Amino acid sequence: MHLTREESEMLEGKLGYPVQKSMELLVRFGEIYGAERLTSVSSVHLVGGSIVSDGKAAALYVEELVNKGGKFVVNTTLDPGDVEPVYWRELGISEETFRDQMAYSKLYERLGTIMCHTCTPYDIGHIPRMGEHIAWGESSAVAFANSVLGARTNREGAPTAIASAITGRTALCGYHLDQNRYGTFKVLVSANLEDVADYGSLGYFVGELVQDQVPVFIGMPPQVTVDQLKALGAAIGTAGAVALYQAVGITPEAQTEEQAFGPKKLSESNIIEVGDREIRTTMEKLSTSSTDEVDLVILGCPHSSISEMKEIAELLSGRKVAPSVELWIFTSVPVIAYAERAGYKDVIEKAGVKILRDTCPWGWENHILSRLGHKAVATNSAKSAFYMPFSGHNNLMCHFGSTKRCIDAALSGKWR
């Protein structure tokens, strides 16, 4: 691998141990994937941030970087943690986890992280430009950055993302290269798509089929919203390992079909058709409950945007969540502040809803939801529906459907 003079000095340790250790990791990673050189990055989003998921070994590594003078040199944000700072006791989060998470977050703050635990950094002003090289983790954020924004990143794990944040570099391979960003599957969409749950179903169906390839959607409604694209990317990166999708006439690198596919020639086996039947079948697949009972509704996976908060407030205005049901909305601190100023927070909380920040239920300690007595969860997120049984909640039943249907379930206690 060719290194510049400055990069060679980094690798030799002339800029300190944290930089040297990070360069060793990036160079080795680049060599494995055949990168000829490194490239500068201007932005990092760390998939790390959860002490339960990352473990204490990760915390010891981050602490070592801090103690030896490590500093992030580019804008860096952090994924959701394991603690809700207001309701953590009420949610059954242990004091040990609270303490460990606070200490772990503090280490990242000392490295120079923009301290906001969120899976939607683009909703808090961390927005790279089209064509900009970045190093992001978190599957839904990666899909959004690559696809909707047109930035360039691979699916980074925490160690390589930390290394990029400390050095301002990443290996020039994968989705940083033009030739790897062309479509490899054609997805012909005829389904009637309206809610984020429809787009989540579309993403889930396609992700299972294409796995780590680059699907190109043709026929997607031109009025598709950013939130719907977010839901699509979250599901497609969950059911498969898709880090980049294109949508002709919608995403910046696919203004035409020719632009989306470039020189790639597709076989008939690489063409997928998605109609209403496929959307309906996917929703049924992700809905595991055999009854109409609902005692918990979860919205905000990925974290709710201000426009989603507005929609929820309008659906809840003047109404109250049923006594037998809890409704939780997961979002980021800046979005909560925005919602408070706009009046949405007051409307939502008057309806008996908890607005939760900095965290995600699928990273919590195992069985918390069951320990709280919940049995049937409704969600508008295909990602949530998928992760529910993999988060120590095998006994939970799931209802998956539109935002309106979820709100109606919260108000009535029934899935209709």
Q: Tens digits of per-residue pLDDT, 182-200?
A: 999 999 999 999 999 999 9
CA angle 407, 82, 90 (to 5 degrees): 60
Residues 257 and 396 in one domain: no
Secondary structure of residue 191 in the 3-state scheme: coil
Token digits of residue 123? 């909703």
Do strands 376-379 and 296-299 pair parallel, antiparallel, or not at all (unpaired)?
Answer: parallel
Do strands 215-218 and 185-189 pair parallel, antiparallel, or not at all (unpaired)?
Answer: parallel
| Count of Cβ atoms closer than 10 Å to residue 6 Cβ | 12
Residues 153/180, Cβ–Cβ less than 8 Å: no
Rounded CA-CA distance 250/331 in Å is 26
Residues 321 and 406 in one domain: yes
Residue 34's closest CA among 179, 146, 166? Answer: 179
For 299-326, the pLDDT digits (tens) are 999 999 999 999 999 999 999 999 999 9
Is residue 343 packed enough to be buried (19+ CB in 10 Å), middle (13-18) or exposed (0-12)? exposed
- What mean pLDDT do residues 81-109 have? 95
What is the strand order of the sheet 75-78 is part of? 75-78, 43-46, 135-136
Secondary structure of residue 113 in the 3-state scheme: coil
Residues 132 and 13 in one domain: yes
- pLDDT of residue 223 exceeding 80, the answer is yes
Q: Which of 178, 196, 219 corresponds to the end of one domain? A: 178
Residue 86's closest CA among 96, 98, 78, 97? Answer: 98
Residues 366 and 402 in one domain: yes
Counting the structural domains of the chain, the total is 3
Q: What is the DSSP string of 44-110?
A: EEES---HHHH-HHHHHHHHHHHHTT----SEEEE--BS--TTTTTTTT--HHHHHHHHHHHHHHHH
Rounded CA-CA distance 78/165 in Å is 11
Local structure of residue 37 (DSSP, 8 states)? B
Any bridge partners for residue 299, and if so which? Answer: 329
Question: Tell me, what amino acid is at 333?
Answer: V
Residues 169 and 42 in one domain: yes
Q: Which of 260, 279, 298 corresponds to the end of one domain? A: 279
Backbone φ and ψ for 263, nearest 5 degrees, come out as -85, 0
Residues 32 and 96 in one domain: yes
Residues 107 and 227 in one domain: no
Is residue 291 packed enough to be buried (19+ CB in 10 Å), middle (13-18) or exposed (0-12)? exposed
Helix ranges (H only) for 211-254 are 226-239
Residues 81/359, Cβ–Cβ less than 8 Å: yes
- pLDDT of residue 394 exceeding 90, the answer is no
The pLDDT value recorded for residue 296 is: 97
Which residues neighbour 350 within 8 Å (Cβ) at sequence distance 6 or greater?
Answer: none
Number of residues that make up the chain? 416
Local structure of residue 114 (DSSP, 8 states)? -
Residues 275 and 343 in one domain: no
The pLDDT value recorded for residue 393 is: 67
Rounded CA-CA distance 313/113 in Å is 31
Computed over every residue of the chain, the mean pLDDT equals 96
CATH number (domain holding residue 304): 3.30.499.10
Backbone φ and ψ for 169, nearest 5 degrees, come out as -135, 160
Is residue 129 packed enough to be buried (19+ CB in 10 Å), middle (13-18) or exposed (0-12)? exposed
The pLDDT value recorded for residue 391 is: 64
Q: Which of 87-96, 281-290, 361-370 has the lowest mean pLDDT?
A: 361-370
Rounded CA-CA distance 235/204 in Å is 5
Please report the beta strands in 210-295, taking only residues with DSSP state E, as ranges in sequence order. Answer: 215-218, 246-247, 271-274
For 155-181, the pLDDT digits (tens) are 999 999 999 999 999 999 999 999 999
- pLDDT of residue 370 exceeding 90, the answer is no
- Global pTM reads 0.96
Q: Which residue has the tokens 């009535």?
A: 412
Q: Which residue has the tokens 């200490």?
A: 103
What's the domain range around 203? 182-279
Residues 132 and 203 in one domain: no
Residues 111 and 79 in one domain: yes
- What mean pLDDT do residues 135-151 have? 98
- pLDDT of residue 210 exceeding 90, the answer is yes
Residues 197 and 160 in one domain: no
| Count of Cβ atoms closer than 10 Å to residue 318 Cβ | 7
Rounded CA-CA distance 20/26 in Å is 10
Rounded CA-CA distance 158/136 in Å is 9
Rounded CA-CA distance 153/72 in Å is 18
Residue 298's closest CA among 395, 412, 382? Answer: 382
Q: Which of 116, 145, 178 corresponds to the end of one domain? A: 178
Token digits of residue 252? 């910046």
The pLDDT value recorded for residue 371 is: 86
Backbone φ and ψ for 302, nearest 5 degrees, come out as -65, 170
Residues 329 and 395 in one domain: yes
